[in-house]
Amino acid sequence: MNSRILNLWHTFINDLPQHLVRHDGFAYRRPLSLFALYEKAHKAPQQPVCGVNSRVTIYLPDSDEHCTLTLVSPSQADPDQLKVSLLSPLGQALVGKSPGEAGCAGSCGLTVPFRLLQIHR
């Protein structure tokens, strides 16, 4: 019994990064929130902010790592190529952020803090 729980826990931990960058955090249950996110992602801002097809560099203080990734539509998400779905928890947390801003992406009770360092054009 304990080994089964341990195996389930390992599976959960291994799948969590995929969930943070690929899965739909809204699960299409909140259509107004979904609309607001897409509107925010497609605005033409005065200063650079994260949106669809933004290539960004973030700093992850918990692991002291820098990561460069691209925000994409859900159909284009591919964690192996660091293409993060706009609707994933990390994608939602990045949309509308400007360089220097901090945020947190949360999923399954865990939060991952980050700071947006740069938006590449």
Strand stretches in the chain, DSSP E:
55-60, 65-72, 83-85, 102-107, 110-120
Predicted structure pTM score: 0.67
| Contact residues for 6 (Cβ-Cβ < 8 A; gap 6+) | none
| Phi, psi of 80, deg, nearest 5 | -65, -30
CA distance 66 to 57: 7
CATH numeric code, 2-120? 3.10.50.30
Q: What is the pLDDT of residues 32-70, one digit of tens each?
A: 666 676 666 666 556 788 888 999 999 999 999 999 999
Question: Can you give the pLDDT at residue 87?
Answer: 87
User: Which residue ranges make up each domain of the chain?
Assistant: 2-120
The per-residue pLDDT for 73 is 86
What pLDDT, on a 0 to 100 scale, did the predictor assign at position 64? 95
pLDDT tens-digit series, residues 73-97: 888 999 899 999 988 999 999 998 9
The pair of three-digit structure tokens given for residue 117, joined into one six-digit string: 């360092």
Q: Mean pLDDT of all residues in the chain?
A: 79
